[in-house]
Structure 1
Amino acid sequence: MQLPVKNLKVNFKTIEEFKSFKEYGLEELSMLEELQITMVEDNANSPFYGIYYGDKLAARMCLYVKQNRANLLKNGSNKYLEIWKLEVLPQFQHKGFGLRLVDFAKSFNLPILTRARVKSHSFWEKMNFVPLSENSSRLLWDPNSVTTQKIS
Structure 2
Amino acid sequence: MGTKVEKLKINFKTLEEFKKFKEYGLQELSMVEDLEANMVDNDIDSPFYGIYFGDKLVARMSLYQIDAKFDRYFYPPQNYVEIWKLEVLPDYQGRGYGKQLVEFAKSFGLPIKTNPRVQSRDFWERMGFTSVDYDMERDRGENPLVWYPEGVEAQHS
TM-score normalised by structure 1 residue count: 0.83
Q: Quote the offset at 1:110 in angstroms.
A: 0.4
- Distance in 2, Cα, partners of 1:36 & 1:123: 28
CA contact (8 A) 2:10 2:46 kept: yes
User: Which residue of structure 2 lines up, in the alignment, with residue 47 of structure 1?
Assistant: 47
Q: Quote the offset at 1:70 in angstroms.
A: 4.1
Q: Quote the offset at 1:105 in angstroms.
A: 0.2
1:109-150 C-alpha deviation (Å, 9 max, x unpaired): 00100011140000000011111125550010011239xxxx
- Provide the aligned C-alpha RMSD in A: 1.8
2:102 counterpart of 1:102: yes
Q: Quote the offset at 1:41 in angstroms.
A: 2.0
2:27 counterpart of 1:34: yes
Aligned-partner residue type, residue 98 of structure 2: G
CA contact (8 A) 2:111 2:147 kept: yes
CA contact (8 A) 2:49 2:61 kept: yes
CA contact (8 A) 1:10 1:35 kept: no
User: Which residue of structure 1 lines up, in the alignment, with residue 14 of structure 2?
Assistant: 14
Equivalent residue pairs, number: 138
CA contact (8 A) 1:11 1:43 kept: no
Answer with 1 or 2: which has the greater Rg.
2
Percent identical across equivalent pairs? Answer: 47
Structure 1 residues without counterparts, runs of 5 or longer:
147-152
SS at match of 2:84: strand
Q: Which moved more, 1:34-43 or 1:52-61?
A: 34-43
Structure 2 residues without counterparts, runs of 5 or longer:
35-39
User: Which residue of structure 1 lines up, in the alignment, with residue 117 of structure 2?
Assistant: 117
2:144 aligned to which of 138, 146, 149: 138
Q: Quote the offset at 1:76 in angstroms.
A: 4.6
1:9-42 C-alpha deviation (Å, 9 max, x unpaired): 1111111101122xxx2xxx22x43133244221
- Alpha carbons of 1:36 and 1:65: their partners in 2 closer, same or farther (altered >3 Å)? same
SS at match of 2:133: coil
- Distance in 2, Cα, partners of 1:33 & 1:70: 22
- Distance in 2, Cα, partners of 1:90 & 1:34: 21
